[in-house]
Amino acid sequence: MEAAADRGTVCVTGAGGFLASWLVKLLLSTGRYAIRGTVRDPCVGKNAHITALEGAGERLRLVKADMLDYSSVASAVDGSQGVFHVASPVPSGKSSNPEADVIAPAVTGTLNVLKACYEAKVKRVVVVSSVSALFNDPNWPKGKALNEDSWSDEESFRKNEEWYFLSKTMAEREAFAYAAKTGLDVITVCPALVIGPLMQPTVNTSVKVFLSYIKGDQETVQNEPKNLVDVRDVADALLLVYENPQASGRYLCNSTAIRVSDIVNILKTSYPSYTYPQNFVEVEGRYTYNTEKLRSSEARLGLQTYGGNHPGQLRMLPSFGHPELSSIQLWLLLLGGSFFPLHVNSKTE
């Protein structure tokens, strides 16, 4: 099965997750790869959203692996030419044991993957980090757009108990430290809040952020700019840097910010029966971002490999054959149609 792929086998960790599912779909659509996806439970029912994808029967194999169990990770990685490390815990609430629940899976899990890749002589590893690993740099010049040279202050995250932000920052630092020590080719992609259509049957953390605006329990919200990126663009970015021989280091993946009031207005227009925030407290955005490095990487490759929109353009631009709507609007409408009636109790009379 795996020998049939033009570019050999790649491993995707956490293959059944929100972003990883779209990456698996993209890899299958190229016809160039056999994919070995790690999952906690290879049960067909839990992973039907990826096992049913076109080409999955011939080129996708799911294997059970725990990122904290090195032997299972090594077994999954063995024989792969490349690895996409996507698996990482995203807490939906406050953890009672953040070191065990959030930090260890992210940091130790990443190191286990990298060690396994080094031992298996994997050619390139692409690690999904986060914009949180760069947006909290106390030494960054005021007014200058953040770029890949910025690193967040870990102690600040620890002091404020922002465990997810801390875990992503620590894991990315450890990844580059390991690469420097061993010579392993490691690239990281740092996306903003990832949104987009859901392939998996469960609601992920980023969806819950938007559902919170229509549950009726917030009369007043901060009208802050939200930095969002479409999940399909992140998948494109991951494949882009993997296939680009000149790619190196970190890549920031972001799009134009959209204010909370604009998100609410889009939802309110299409779903007026829900109870929305009535008051918006204006808050200036703290950060601007420079994604020139990723855009330059696209330009060098001609942007023709994947079709449609790309990480430099991003799906904030009109797309999907609906020029009057941005993809953020379309995503909210699609999400509303499929999830709002199921997961939100309307409080209107």
The CATH number that applies at residue 11 is 3.40.50.720
Asked if residue 266 is part of any domain, the answer here is no
Asked if residue 324 is part of any domain, the answer here is no
Whole-structure pTM value: 0.85
- pLDDT, tens only, 3-50: 445 779 999 999 999 999 999 999 999 999 999 999 998 876 889 999
Asked if residue 190 is part of any domain, the answer here is yes
Instruction: Give catalytic residues, as residue numbers.
Output: 168
- pLDDT, tens only, 218-271: 889 889 888 888 888 899 999 999 999 999 999 999 887 888 888 888 778 877
Asked if residue 28 is part of any domain, the answer here is yes
Tally of structural domains, the chain:
1
- pLDDT, tens only, 109-168: 999 999 999 999 999 999 999 999 999 999 999 989 999 999 999 999 999 999 999 999
Q: Which domain holds residue 169?
A: 2-195+228-254+287-313
Asked if residue 47 is part of any domain, the answer here is yes
Q: Please report the beta strands in 141-257, taking only residues with DSSP state E, as ranges in sequence order.
A: 186-191, 193-195, 220-223, 225-226, 228-230, 249-253
The encoded tokens of residue 222 equal 């901060």
What is the per-residue burial (b if ≥16 Cβ within 10 Å, else e) of 188-218?
bbbbbbbbbebbbeebbebbeebbebbbeee
Asked if residue 335 is part of any domain, the answer here is no
Asked if residue 176 is part of any domain, the answer here is yes
Asked if residue 29 is part of any domain, the answer here is yes
C-alpha to C-alpha distances, 41 to 48, 78, 113, nearest whole angstrom: 12, 19, 18
